[in-house]
Structure formats: structure tokens, C-alpha cells
Structure 1
Amino acid sequence: MKITNIELIAVGIPRHTGFVNKHVIVKIHSDEGIVGIGEMSDFSHLPRYSIDLHDLERGLRSVFIGRNPFDIMQLNQELVDHFPETMYYYEKGSFIRNGMDNALHDLCAKCLDISVSEMFGGRVRDKLKVCYPIFRHRFMEEVEENIQVVRNRLEQGFDVFRLYVGKNIDADEAFLSRVKEEFGSKVKIKSYDFSHLLNWKDAWCAIKRLTKYDLGLEMIESPAPRNDFEGLNQLRLKTDYPISEHVWSFKQQQEMIKQEAVDIFNISPIFIGGLTAARKAAYAAEVAGKECILGTTQELSIGTAAMAHLGCSLTNILKTSDPTGPELYIGDVVKERVTYQDGYLHAPDRNKKGLGVELDEELLDKFRVADLSWNDVSVHQLQDRTSIK
């Protein structure tokens, strides 16, 4: 089998908050008529520069056309040469590598008439416990809005939440107090996610305030600036709660292992550059005796299905993971979205080949946009994924 063409389609899909995320849907065509699909998720994030989609499509065609899609390892090596790691969380090259690697796995698994998880050696589970995100409080009046989010999502079966913190600690504390008062043991806050906003000393002060409201807390996430491994280590020695950090390059992961900076690695294909790279990072964590969770940038169903296949094949995911992206959007581009039930992300049925999701061409046209431009989106919107207030 040979690759005959690469198609990239930009889509813009609003979240329930009003913020519009732009993604790129990947199609890899083959000479056997099989098409692999993938997702370059969430280009609407910092750093604030865009990708010329036409130029990217031409460049990827020059790398992929005529190649055997089963040469996944070699093609990934070449993708790293063209779109290298930069030790940055939202580095756009990893988004590109991720979408192409998704589509390669989908194409190859379809050709073999198996699911992607079977390409990974099978499953150790069929579902992943996941949490719904509560976005960062900027103003005290947002506390009531977020309490209503908890009410609504609890009715849908989501009983575990991840709280973004660090911008308004008074509001964060007020929210936690309200959750404890209204929901008690019905609701769990699995993590406080600082998203690198504070230095480790300020994060430590905030942690001491917020952990008075321990509602099943599993971990503290990203409580130091990016790549501040010493700061993570200092904080890890002070708190009894596990420290978690995202993996966005193998050099960074190596340093975190060497400096004993974290307890739990947050691994997401979008940030490390694809399913192939994510599996390597998870195996490295396992060798180092570390647990993993599956992270997210809040993907659509294609990217989330890829993560479900990955997460259900890993043995060292022992705590609540994050992928709930399809629940955050008003629409999608597939015929059937991935399934959530009782707070779990279910992997696509084993009888569905490849990633187990099918593009809906009408929805693809509905949400299609001309480019990945930023327009007048503010920095605060990019950081907090919200509409203007």
C-alpha cells in the first residue's frame, strides 16, 4: 500500500463558553482506496502565530506521497526533523505530528481490519475514568456559574472535576467551599491545575489554602513555570500530594525523571507529537516507576478516540484522566461522537476498525473555515478558553 494524497481541512467549532477552537482534520489517501483520518487539535492557543495550511499541506505531501504508511516509525522520525521539539507546551509542530500519526494508525489498522488498540497489543481496560474541567476563575461572580456547571454535569454522570486555579485564589477557595457545602461526597475534585501561572513558592502558598478543601484530591498539576524542574522538586518535597506535569518533549521528560520533579506524568498525544511518541513517553514513565494520566487540549472525537485507544492499552494509568473534549463543544465532525457514561470515556467498539470513528462530510463542510487566523481573540481568552467579559 502506498500513500497517494494528503488533505488538510480547517474547522472552527465553538465551545459552550463561546470560545471558537480551530482544528485541522487530516485525510491520508492510499492506492487501495482506504483513507486514514486524524486530527491536529486546538490551533487556537498560545503562542500567537498561525500556520499557513496550504503551505503545510504541500510540505506534508512532499514527505508522505509514495510512502508505505506502515513505516510509522520512520515517518515519525522524519516528522520530527521537519517539525522539531522545542521544549514548549503548546508547540505547534507537535500538533502537526500528532494529526499525521493519528491518521497513519487509522489507515494501517483499517487495512489490517483491526482496531488501533489491537495494533498496540490489545486492551487492559475498555473505559477510562475522566474528569470534567472547571475553567479558571477570573472574577468572584464566576463562582456561581461554575457551581451550575457542576450541577449540570453531575446530572450527566460526571462526578469528578479538575479545577483550574491560580488567577483568583479567593474565588477558587469560595468555589471549593460551595462545592463541599452543596455536594459533599457526591463530587470529587481530582486536581488543582495551576497551568504554570505561578512560581513554586506562590503555588505552595495557594496549595496550603486550597487543600483545606480536600474533595478527593489526587494530584497538584503544573505548579511551577514551564521547565522549572528544580521548582517542581522543591514543591514535591513540601507537599504530601502527588505532583503532576505534562510531557511535551523527551528531553523534558528525561530531566523530570533525573531531577525527581514529578510523581505522575500527564501524557497527551497532542503535546508530545502523536500516538507513537505518547507510547514511548508512557513506557519511559513505567520504567522510571511513575504513574501516568492521559491529558488533553480538549480534542474533538477523532483525537479523543485516538486517546481512548492509547489509554486503554496502557498499564500505568491508575488515576483519573482528562479527555472530555467532545462534551465541551456544540458540534463535531463525525457521525457518532465518542461515548461517555457514568463519568467514563469508553473506547470505540473493538469491531470498529481503525480509530473507530467516521467522518461526516456534511458536518465537515458546516464547520469548515478558510484558515487558522486569530482575528481579534485576546490573550486572556487564549489562556482561559472563554468568551469576553
Structure 2
Amino acid sequence: MKLSDLRLTVVGVPRSTGFVSKHVIVELMTDEGLTGIGEMSDFSHLPYYSIDLKDLTTVLKGILIGQNPFQLSRMNMELKSHFPEANFYYEKGNFIRNGIDAALHDLCAKALNMPVSEFMGGAIQQKIKVCFPIFRHRFMEEVEENIAVVRQRLEQGFDVFRLYVGKNLDADEAFLDGVQREFGSRVKIKSLDFSHLLDWKASLKAIRRLSAYDFEMVESPAPQNDFEGLRQVRMKSDYPVSEHVWSFRQQHEMLRQDSVDIFNISPIFIGGLTSARKAAAAAEVAGKGCLLGTTQELSIGTAAMAHLGSTLVNLNYTSDPTGPELYVGDVVKEAVRYEDGYLLVPGADKPGLGMELDLEKIEQYRVPDLSWGAVSVHQLQDRTSQTKQ
């Protein structure tokens, strides 16, 4: 079996907040009639540049066409030589490699008539506990809006939440206080997510201020690649520290300097399922826990993470992938499912990722390219359509 063609389709799917995230749907075709699908998820991130889709398609066809899809390691090495790690959280080369690697996994598992989780070694769980994100407060009036989100999502079975913090600590504190008063022990705050906005001293000050409320961990409490800052927070606070993995060099430094307790692993940020499995294995060897992170993928990307997570022995913290719950639509016939705050691993009775493209939905959300338009930095950081500064 050889790869015979590649199709990339850009879709722009609105979130419930009004922010439109652009994704690239990957289709890898073979000379035997099988097609693997993947997702380059959520290109709508800083840095402020876009990818030319025509050029990307030409380059990827040159790498992939005529290759045996089962040569995963060799093709990932080739992809990495063209789209190298840049030691940056939102490096778009990683996004590209992730979409192709997911499509290759989907294709190989389909050829073997098995789920991707079985292709990767076998599932040890069929559902993954996840949390729902509460996006960052910039204004006090957003507090009641976000408490209403907790109220609504709790009714739907989500009882764990992740709070983005650091822009308005008064509002962050008011939110935590309101949640504690209204919901008590029925709701759990998994983490305070600083998203690299503050230096470690400012983050530590904020953690101490908010420690009157119950949360499990802190995430990204220092600027990107500030390994000493992460270690300082880890040593000086009472909470475990989590950080994303976006390159193997960065993970090596976090291990060498003992900077974190928990590795936040997501295929989109490390460049695919193949790399994510390596990162999780490195964490396991070092005795570190893992959780699945997210950029808020559509169902294809979320399904890939669910299959990955189902195979990990050190996935011992609540994970983040709830993207399909944040969007007003999707591009598959049957979206991934959530039940009682768990992401269900799809496709136990279906080969591959268990996802099937819906061509009508793809046409509904299709956009011509990945260009930015009038998106502001505040929108990119806060994932909203708000224009207040």
C-alpha cells in the first residue's frame, strides 16, 4: 500500500463565544482505496502569521506521495526535517506534523481493521476524565457570566473546571468565591492556568492570594522556557506544577532541572501521536504524571487524543480535551461523546480513529485560507470575540 494523494481543507468553526478557530482537515489517500483523516487543529494562535495552504500542500505531497504509510518513524523524521521544533508553545510546524501523523495512524489502523488505540498497543481505559475551561477574566462583569457557565456545564455532567487566571486577580478571586459559595464540593477546580502570562514571582504571589480556595495544581506559572522559574514555583508553593511539552529539548530541560510535577502532553503541541507517546514514556521513566492538554480541537483531533490517552499508564490527572463542546459545529458525522464529565474513547467497534467526515458540514464551514483578517491579540489570548480593551 502506497500513499497516492493528499487533500488539505481549511474550515473556520465558531466557538460559542463567537471566536472563529481555523483548522486544516487532512485526507491521505492510498492506491488501495483507503483514506486516513487527521486534523491540524486551531491555527488561530499567536504568533501572528499564517500558512500558505497551496505551498503546504505541495511540500507535503513531495514528502508523502509514494510512501508506505506504515513507515511512521521514518516519515516523522522526514516531516521533522521540513517542519522542525522551534522550542515555542504554538509552533505551527508542530501543528502540521500532528495532522499528518494522526492521518497516518488512522490509515494504518483502518488497513489492519482495528482502532488506533489497539494499533498503539491497546487501550487500558475506555473513558478519560476531563475538565471544562473557564476563560480568562479581563473585567469584573465577566464573573457572573462564567459562574453561569459552571452552572450550565454542571447540569451536563462536567464537575471539574480549569480556570485561566492572571489578567484580573480581583475577578479571578470573585469567581472562585462565587463557585465555592454556590456549588461547594459539587464542583472541583482542577487548575489555575497562567498560560505563561506572568513571571514566576507574580504567579507565586497570585497562587498564595488564591490559595484560600480549593484547586489541585497550577499550570504554566512562568514565561515559556523559564525552567528555573517553574522550579521556583514548584519549590515555594504547596501545589504541583504542570507544564506543556512542545519540544523534546524543552522536556529534557524540565526533567534535568526537575521543574515540574506533571507533564501536559498534547499531540498538537509536540507534533503528533508518535511524539506524544515518546513524551509520555519519558515522563513515565522519570516518575512524572501526565495529563492530556488541548488547544480545543474538533472531533478528529479530540478522538486522536482519546485514543492516545486510553493507552497511557501514567495518565493520572484530569485532562483538558473538551473542544467539541466549545464549538457550535463540527466536520464529522458523529462527534466524540462526553458522559458524566468523561471523554469516551470513540470507535471501539470501528477501525482507525472512529471518525467519518461529513462533506456537507465541511462545505458549511469551509474558508479559503488561514489568513487572520481583523483578529486582535486580545481575541487570540482570550479566545473570545470581545472588542473591549
Instruction: Give the TM bin, normalised by the shorter chain.
Output: over 0.9
Q: Secondary structure at the match of 2:73?
A: helix
Equivalences for 1:157-172 in 2 at 5 Å?
Answer: 157-172=157-172
In 2, Cα distance between the equivalents of 1:348 and 1:218? 28
> Which amino acid in structure 1 is aligned with residue 278 of structure 2?
K
Name the counterpart of 1:259.
Answer: 257
The answer to whether residue 325 in structure 2 is matched with residue 306 in structure 1 is: no
Name the counterpart of 1:29.
Answer: 29
Q: Shift in Å at residue 276 of structure 1?
A: 0.1
In 2, Cα distance between the equivalents of 1:313 and 1:386? 34
Name the counterpart of 1:274.
Answer: 272
In 2, Cα distance between the equivalents of 1:97 and 1:124? 26
Name the counterpart of 1:338.
Answer: 336
In 1, Cα distance between the equivalents of 2:311 and 2:293? 15
Equivalent pairs, count:
387
The answer to whether residue 158 in structure 2 is matched with residue 178 in structure 1 is: no
Conserved 8 A contact 2:131-2:158: yes
Name the counterpart of 1:376.
Answer: 374
In 2, Cα distance between the equivalents of 1:273 and 1:82? 12
Q: Deviations over 1:134-182 (max 9, x none)?
A: 0000000000000000011011100000000000000000000000000
Name the counterpart of 2:5.
Answer: 5
Counterpart among 228, 232, 235 of residue 234 in structure 1: 232
Conserved 8 A contact 2:347-2:353: no
Counterpart among 291, 302, 317 of residue 293 in structure 1: 291
Name the counterpart of 1:365.
Answer: 363
How big is the alpha-carbon RMSD for the aligned residues of Structure 1 and Structure 2?
A: 0.5
In 2, Cα distance between the equivalents of 1:27 and 1:357? 12
In 2, Cα distance between the equivalents of 1:27 and 1:235? 43
Name the counterpart of 2:325.
Answer: 327
In 2, Cα distance between the equivalents of 1:178 and 1:248? 34
Unpaired stretches in structure 2, ≥5 consecutive residues:
none
> Which amino acid in structure 1 is aligned with residue 2 of structure 2?
K
Q: Shift in Å at residue 351 of structure 1?
A: 1.2
In 2, Cα distance between the equivalents of 1:142 and 1:387? 13
In 2, Cα distance between the equivalents of 1:363 and 1:235? 45
Q: Secondary structure at the match of 2:13?
A: strand
In 1, Cα distance between the equivalents of 2:211 and 2:157? 25
Conserved 8 A contact 1:218-1:319: no
Q: Deviations over 1:216-238 (max 9, x none)?
A: x2210000000000011111111
Q: Secondary structure at the match of 2:234?
A: helix
The answer to whether residue 345 in structure 2 is matched with residue 347 in structure 1 is: yes
TM-score, with length taken from structure 2:
0.99
In 2, Cα distance between the equivalents of 1:362 and 1:58? 26
State the percentage of identical aligned residues: 71
Q: Secondary structure at the match of 2:177?
A: helix
In 2, Cα distance between the equivalents of 1:311 and 1:242? 21
In 1, Cα distance between the equivalents of 2:211 and 2:264? 21
Conserved 8 A contact 2:347-2:355: no
Name the counterpart of 1:89.
Answer: 89
Q: Secondary structure at the match of 1:218?
A: strand
In 1, Cα distance between the equivalents of 2:219 and 2:231? 13
Q: Deviations over 1:172-215 (max 9, x none)?
A: 0000000000000110000000000000000000000111111x
> Which amino acid in structure 2 is aligned with residue 346 of structure 1?
L
> Which amino acid in structure 2 is aligned with residue 282 of structure 1?
A
Misfit runs of 4+, over 2 Å: none
Conserved 8 A contact 1:116-1:354: yes
Q: Shift in Å at residue 239 of structure 1?
A: 1.1
Q: Shift in Å at residue 349 of structure 1?
A: 3.2
Q: Deviations over 1:250-281 (max 9, x none)?
A: 00000000001000000000000000000000
In 1, Cα distance between the equivalents of 2:253 and 2:247? 10
Q: Which moved more, 1:348-357 or 1:255-264?
A: 348-357
Unpaired stretches in structure 1, ≥5 consecutive residues:
none
Q: Secondary structure at the match of 1:189?
A: strand
Q: Shift in Å at residue 350 of structure 1?
A: 1.4
